[in-house]
A and B are shown apart, each in its own frame.
Chain A
Amino acid sequence: MAVNAPPAETKPLSANDPQTIAEQIKTKFPDALESASAQGIVIKRDHLLEVARHLRESLTFDYLNNVTSVDFPDRFEVVYHVSSIDRGGAPLTLKVNAARENPVVPSLVPVYRGADFQEREVYDMMGIRFDGHPYLRRILMWDGFEGYPLRKDYHEPYFEDEKKPFGTRWDQGHHVIAEDRNPWHDNVQYPANFDAVAFKAQIDTVREQTLPDVSPTRLKTEKMILNIGPQHPSTHGVLRLKTTLDGETIVGVEPVLGYLHRNHEKIGERNTYLGNIPFTDRLDYFTSMNNNHAYVIGVEKLMGLRVPERAEYIRVIMAELTRVISHMALMGFMYNDLGAFYTPLIYALEERELVLDMFEAASGSRMMCNYMRFGGVARDLPDGFLDKAKHLVEERFPRVLDELETYLTGNEIFLARTKGVGVISREDAINYSTAGPVLRGSGAKYDVRRAEPYSIYDRFDFDIPVGTAGDVRDRFLMRLWEARQSLRILKQALKDIPAGEIMTGKKNYQIRVPKGEVYGRGENPKGELGFYIVSDGTPNPYRYHIRAPSFINLTALDRMSKGYKVADLIIILGSHDVVMGEVDR
């Protein structure tokens, strides 16, 4: 390992205490605060930018975890979570209110570049404008779409009722198919007097990029726009990149998202809490167990539930097994992008199948496990699970990882293509809010499992590997190192797993979640996966927001690929490990 991580220290959490911070802000900006409580600090709109700058520069809140918004009957609320990379701890919650009519909030992009895509998402979904944002356009839906879908008064075409379970179904024992309920007999709705015949779609445009000054001695080249995707073998799904080239050099990349926008959040807000678990499976479909884990952690925090020991161990085992196979598969996929088509991937997928079989035995499904529940897990482990896992963890996987390391990391072509490519500095990686191996590959030691230990991760002995160069090679190696650390955790967990209960209380379909809000997060193989949930005490979440690591990591793609060639762009994107289900949600 290039850098050996020192043993984890427990960080004082009090440094992030909202009350203390609020005091500090008050002394600096006497009239910036609206209120402050354990739920977060509410800042006046006009002072947001300077408070944020102060937080970042003087109080070392250098990392913007999450930006989202809530639609309350009387106002919109934009919510920010910021934290400190070095200090760790629970993130600090900042809030800004915006008027219901024509809501505008200052943009935080000048302070945190990572706010770029997230603010565009808020604009797209809620219609809140961000003053000073460099490129405020819809990001998930297309330009010209009618309505702001996450507002409470927006009804989708197949709208049936505000909340599930739908009364019509259980009471009368029948239901009408969605197509018949909608007057257009399809999943569409149009404004009154809309003329579809005369309608002309908008012309696609590209974010303007200025070419760098060309020295007179260099060959003169021309600007060219290259479109990659949405159907392209190397975009890992339905991602589209509008690339501006100067000759063959990349000047700018504009990811176009939303080709897999499946409305998780809108559906999630109509759903019951329990009903959302299978939907979280389908976020990052490589890592359903980790998604389940982060979500149940959030809701459990809100409910104050305690999870039995055995269930905690089962969760950790499942999550870490997922991490190992996800990272292995990524190594194969990255070689795909380098042109070693399919062979390394086939080896990785072979290992993945072994774990999927175990998941199938435990949960009933290979990929979409839907395994965790609030207060435990759905079923106990099947017979022989632990022995199989022990065999994999102690014998097979270490060998396979060694094999992968021998054959893949020293390869000459690999080194030539990845060393010094797609470099992002530590400062930039933090400022762009990247997460997971992308962030750590640049040397920032931030892993939610250590920064704010959840579940029982504080009991295990493991290191957080970090890279040094911040290039594609380091990000590749991060996967290898992290898989090794996961094996370490797995070994300890498999040894210590106790017998006993797997669920607190009895199985419950309609859990009662008290009023409040929570930001629950876990370390997904792709980075910090967070769930921001606002509960109003009813069986359905009032607001359900997903902080998707792949989505936010893409913010830095433009920064990373400037100055490299088109072929490098593919491998830089590969090193991000994007999964479109999570990017677009």
Chain B
Amino acid sequence: MSEGMQQIQIVQNEDEWLEDQVRRSVFVASWDKVIDKIIDPLYNWGRRNSVWPIGFGLACCAIEMICTSASRFDISRFGMELFRASPRQADLMIVSGTVTKKMLPAVVRLYNQMAEPKYVLAMGACASAGGPFKEGYNVVSGLDKFIPIDVYVPGCPPTPQALLNGLMTLQKKIDKQTIREAAWYKKGQAEAIPDPVLGPDLIDARRAEEITMLAHAPDQLATRAIKIQTKAETKHEKK
């Protein structure tokens, strides 16, 4: 008999032995700990460094977005240089410019077509709140009235540095997310935002009933507006 054979131990109790082996070679922790310490950081690290924006420029801010992705500011440092032409492949929508009423149905549809996890960054004053053109009759005063926005970047246009800062803010947001609460792992389908309709003016489909009700009740409608004095009225009063 060779020496090696002699070292074989006879297992007395198989269960005990197995337990011992498992204890030695398998890392055992609570499920929560695994998610918090291993899965989430790893998963988020991967996601935050490969956010692919949808290649979609709206207005002046788009030019600064292009500059951000060009050689000087180099968005590839963040793994975000892959501007995808298709919403299906994109994670981030940089709303770079004024959203007009005519464009809004397309923007909402693009957002709906993007796969989860998806993020929206409102670049510039226009996308955030209407900007210098807020008073215009064809301008949506803030895209957040229709789709949820994750990061707002102020400026008109925001400089590339500001946009990069916004993207880093988004990365921080991604870092804080956990798959336990991620909407995209929940059961069932996420509800799409209904397409706005272009009628005599823009119709938010979610408000259609309210609009119809108010349009038929002029008295009630009148009470909803805060009256202000025009210049002519102010002058008249002074006299």
A interface with B by C-beta (< 8 Å): 140-142, 144-146, 149, 154, 156-158, 160-163, 166-168, 171, 175-176, 178-197, 199, 201, 230-233, 237-238, 258-263, 266-267, 270, 278-279, 282, 285-286, 345-346, 349-350, 352-353, 366-368, 580-581
Contacts and interface: CB of A to CB of B under 8 A. Distances in A.
A149 B209 CA distance: 26
B100 interface: yes
B39 interface: no
B6 interface: no
A512 B197 CA distance: 44
B193 interface: no
B133 A262 contact: yes
Interface bracket on B: 35 or more
B80 interface: no
A191 B201 CA distance: 9
A191 B212 CA distance: 10
Contact of A199 (B58, B197, B231): B197
A103 B132 CA distance: 33
B71 A230 contact: no
B215 A196 contact: yes
B70 A179 contact: no
B134 A178 contact: yes
Contacts of B83: 233
A86 to B, nearest CB: 37
B224 to A, nearest CB: 4
19 contacts: A141-B138, A161-B231, A167-B230, A182-B225, A185-B224, A187-B101, A187-B134, A188-B203, A199-B199, A230-B106, A237-B57, A238-B59, A260-B98, A260-B103, A263-B136, A267-B136, A278-B132, A346-B71, A367-B60
Q: Which of A184, A194, A262, A350 has the largest number of chain B CB atoms within 10 A?
A: A262
Interface string B196-212: 01111111100111011
Closest 5 CB pairs of A and B: A167-B231, A263-B136, A146-B200, A285-B60, A156-B137
B18 interface: no
B2 interface: no
A278 B60 CA distance: 13
Nearest to B238: A171
Given A179-B141, A195-B212, A368 B157 contact: yes
B135 interface: yes
Q: Which of B59, B67, B156, B235 has the largest number of chain A CB atoms within 10 A?
A: B59
A154 B203 CA distance: 20
Given A238-B58, A349-B67, A196 B211 contact: yes
Contacts of A353: 67, 70, 72
B218 interface: yes
Contacts of A232: 85
Contacts of B106: 230-231, 238, 259
Contacts of A184: 211, 214, 221, 224
Contacts of B62: 237
A279 B215 contact: no
Contacts of B229: 167-168
Contact of A160 (B56, B135, B139, B232): B135
Interface string B134-167: 1111111100010000000000110100000000
B35 interface: no
Given A167-B229, A259-B103, A157 B59 contact: no
A149 B59 contact: no
B70 A261 contact: no
A160 to B, nearest CB: 7
Q: Which of A182, A185, A187, A195 has the largest number of chain B CB atoms within 10 A?
A: A187
Given A145-B200, A285-B59, A366-B159, A263 B215 contact: no
A154 B201 CA distance: 14
Given A263-B136, A353-B72, 15 more contacts: A141-B102, A154-B137, A156-B136, A158-B134, A167-B230, A167-B235, A187-B140, A188-B203, A190-B211, A238-B57, A267-B136, A349-B71, A350-B71, A368-B60, A368-B157
B26 interface: no
B196 to A, nearest CB: 10
